């Protein structure tokens, strides 16, 4: 994940905008993307702050509690297709074949 822009830079961007500097000039001066300027200004307008947002992790993996069992199934059935492995899953009604594929990819199991 990319690092957030510093508060100092954010303040300079907002101050330049408040002083009437054109957004194109701000983009050129600070070598940042135009969308970044708009995002900082929008955040200030909507939330009254220019602090970087806190990182929010994505949802938990559905198959994470079954990792050991999935590894065992792959070891027992090394030539099984994704559809065949999916049929062997204990919670196959709650996950799809693409979900299984992504989980195996994350585990670096081909």
pLDDT digit string, tens, across residues 48-74: 999 998 888 888 888 888 899 999 999
What does the alpha-carbon distance between residue 5 and residue 65 come to, in Å, rounded to a whole number?
A: 36
CATH number of the domain located at residue range(s) 7-47 in this protein: 1.10.10
**pTM of structure:** 0.55
Q: Which two tokens stand for residue 69?
A: 């069992």
Residues 6+ apart with CB under 8 A from 11: 50
Q: What is the pLDDT of residues 20-33, one digit of tens each?
A: 999 999 999 999 99
């Amino acid at each position: 994940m990319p690092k957030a822009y510093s508060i100092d830079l954010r303040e300079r961007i907002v101050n330049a905008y408040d002083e009437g500097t054109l957004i194109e000039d701000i983009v050129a001066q600070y070598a940042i993307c135009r969308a970044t300027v708009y995002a900082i200004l929008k955040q200030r307008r909507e939330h009254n702050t220019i602090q970087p947002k806190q990182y929010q992790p994505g949802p938990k993996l559905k198959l994470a509690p079954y990792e050991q069992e999935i590894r065992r199934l792959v070891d027992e059935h090394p030539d099984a297709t994704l559809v065949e492995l999916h049929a062997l899953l204990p919670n196959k009604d709650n996950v799809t074949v693409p979900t299984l594929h992504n989980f195996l990819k994350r585990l670096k199991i081909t």
